[in-house]
């Protein structure tokens, strides 16, 4: 692993909430290509995080790990994968929500314990991480990172119990917030979800007769899995080779609180979430938006890629023709280049080109999935106007984001949220649209097809858990500077 390196601030950070993380776990009865299978699963989850990635494996006697900052294709090569041999593997692709984007915060975390090696990776964020970290320090533990994942690993290492399953069950009540985790022991892997079920996690049988778990079903489909189903809220699933045991430890008294933004933006459209096709729900979001906020226009264009299904739905419901208006450069991704002022000014033009032939002289409806920071929409609208559009109507397939998310999404302060600072009319003027409208919370839930069971805190301010003790994202970095 390279020395710890701070990832430069990305000049392409846009209006959407930043990605979360992705986890994967694989068991291979033959022990062949387990790390490679984990790599393929992570590759299907690359959209959930591009800052760092890692894979840990166990062969029944010892554990090995490789992790670093960057994209999967930069970190893993045939040479780096070759030493990662074993019967079980877990992996992680990271977007930082707790701790800075440094190699020391990359996951999985691998520690040696009195019970043998333990590796842990998780998607989510603990709202009581500050309290738990302080307790570990008072007990004399040495922490090397600023991630709540390390806190979770050390708590498990110190927990009582005969097996990792027992230690996990006794420790989970101490963790408040969002976590879908994978744990690697010497002869098994474990997948578990918090009692609220904030973040997704599913499991399926591999063609080799083993099992795999992943943040999204698209990764399990990539691995050729069958019998795919969700890890339930508060459930612990233990896999040893071909054997699997599962039991539910606890449920939240307030009921489930799945992340509604998984449907809006985070998940890949070919994934399923809560038994629903993400692609179909996004089309319904667009249909509902057309019902609530129609527009007199000539063409509907999406902001690629996640808004494409919603734009199809808006077009179908409204009768306004659908067409491409933006061409996205899919090779920009994240960058290690320190952005200059010129690059900041040109960042949207580097990421998107417009198609003037489809826009000139047209009244255009732009469909986007969210408007969080307000740093991209105005520039996109300017590109459309410069292409000759007569009118530009911006429609957002989610409600206004008025409150920070503390459950594993990188939008942790009110200062970041432009809708919390501007009223709708001022926001319309800021982005330069002729009209601007957001889908209602009720409309979003109607498109999802559920009246409850989802977290809508970023829209409503009604958090399923107490967030009064939440620490800023990089609050632990100062002590380790």
> 455 an active-site residue?
no
Q: Record the tokens describing residue 271, joined without a space.
A: 């994934």
Q: Are 358 and 323 in contact (CB under 8 A)?
A: yes
What 225-229 contacts at long range (C-beta under 8 Å, 24+ apart), as own/partner pairs, is: 228/202, 228/203, 228/204, 229/202, 229/203, 229/204
Distance from C-alpha of 310 to C-alpha of 305, rounded to nearest angstrom: 10
Give the three-state DSSP class for 351: helix
Tokens 């990359």 identify what position? 106
- CA dist list (Å): 312 to 1, 209, 308, 317, 324: 44, 39, 6, 9, 11
Phi, then psi, of 211 in degrees rounded to 5: -135, 155
Half-sphere exposure of 304 (CA within 13 A, CB side): 13
* CB neighbourhood size of 45 (10 A): 29
Distance from C-alpha of 197 to C-alpha of 217, rounded to nearest angstrom: 15
Exactly one of 21, 218, 405, 458 is catalytic; name it. 21
Give the three-state DSSP class for 124: strand
Among 409, 417, 334, 336, which residue's Cα sits nearest to residue 371? 417
Query: Is beta strand 189-193 parallel, antiparallel or unpaired with respect to 235-240?
Result: antiparallel
Phi, then psi, of 344 in degrees rounded to 5: -60, -40
Q: Are 259 and 199 in contact (CB under 8 A)?
A: yes
DSSP string, 365-415: EEEES--SS-SSHHHHHHHHHHTT-SEEEEEESS----S-B-SS-BB--GG
Distance from C-alpha of 288 to C-alpha of 307, rounded to nearest angstrom: 14
Beta bridge partners of 405: 411
Residues catalogued as catalytic: 21
């Amino acid at each position: 692993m390279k020395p710890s390196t701070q990832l430069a601030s990305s000049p392409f950070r846009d209006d959407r909430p930043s990605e979360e993380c992705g986890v994967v776990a694989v068991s291979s009865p033959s022990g062949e290509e387990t790390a490679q299978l984990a790599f393929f699963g992570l590759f299907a989850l690359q959209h959930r995080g591009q800052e760092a990635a890692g894979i840990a494996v166990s062969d029944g006697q010892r554990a090995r790990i490789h992790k670093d900052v960057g994209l999967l294709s930069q970190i893993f090569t045939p040479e780096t994968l070759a030493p990662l041999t074993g019967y079980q593997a877990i992996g992680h692709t990271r977007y930082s929500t707790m701790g800075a984007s440094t190699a020391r915060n990359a996951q999985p975390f691998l520690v040696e314990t009195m019970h043998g090696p333990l590796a842990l990776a998780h998607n989510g964020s603990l709202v009581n991480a500050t309290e738990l970290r302080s307790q570990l320090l008072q007990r004399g533990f040495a922490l090397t990172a600023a991630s709540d994942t390390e806190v979770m690993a050390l708590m498990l290492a110190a927990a009582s119990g005969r097996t990792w399953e027992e230690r996990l069950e006794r420790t989970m009540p101490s963790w408040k917030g969002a976590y879908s985790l994978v744990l690697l022991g010497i002869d098994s892997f474990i997948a578990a979800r918090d009692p609220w079920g904030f973040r997704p996690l599913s499991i399926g049988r591999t063609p080799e007769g083993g099992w795999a778990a992943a943040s999204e079903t698209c990764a399990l489909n990539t691995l050729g899995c069958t019998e795919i189903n969700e890890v339930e809220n508060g459930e612990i699933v233990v896999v040893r080779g071909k054997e699997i045991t599962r039991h539910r430890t606890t449920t939240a008294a307030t009921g489930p609180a799945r992340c509604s933004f998984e449907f809006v933006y985070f998940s890949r459209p070919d994934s399923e979430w809560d038994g629903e096709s993400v692609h179909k729900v996004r089309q319904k979001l667009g249909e509902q938006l057309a019902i609530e906020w129609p527009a007199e226009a000539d063409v509907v264009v999406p902001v690629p890629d996640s808004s494409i299904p919603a734009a199809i739905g808006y077009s179908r419901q409204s009768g306004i023709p659908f067409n491409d208006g933006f061409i996205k450069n899919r090779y920009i991704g994240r960058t290690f280049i320190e952005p200059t002022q010129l690059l900041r000014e040109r960042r949207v033009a580097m990421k998107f080109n417009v198609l003037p032939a489809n826009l000139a002289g047209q009244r255009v409806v732009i469909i986007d999935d969210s408007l969080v920071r307000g740093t991209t929409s105005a520039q996109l609208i300017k590109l459309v106007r410069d292409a000759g559009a007569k009118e530009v109507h911006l429609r957002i397939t989610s409600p206004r984001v008025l409150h920070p998310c503390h459950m594993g999404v990188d939008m942790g302060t009110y200062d970041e949220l432009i809708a919390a600072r501007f009223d709708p009319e001022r926001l319309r003027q800021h982005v330069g649209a002729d009209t601007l409208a957001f889908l209602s919370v009720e409309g979003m839930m109607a498109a999802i097809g559920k009246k409850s069971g989802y977290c809508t805190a970023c829209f409503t301010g009604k958090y399923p858990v107490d967030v009064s003790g939440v620490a800023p994202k990089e609050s632990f970095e100062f002590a380790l500077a």
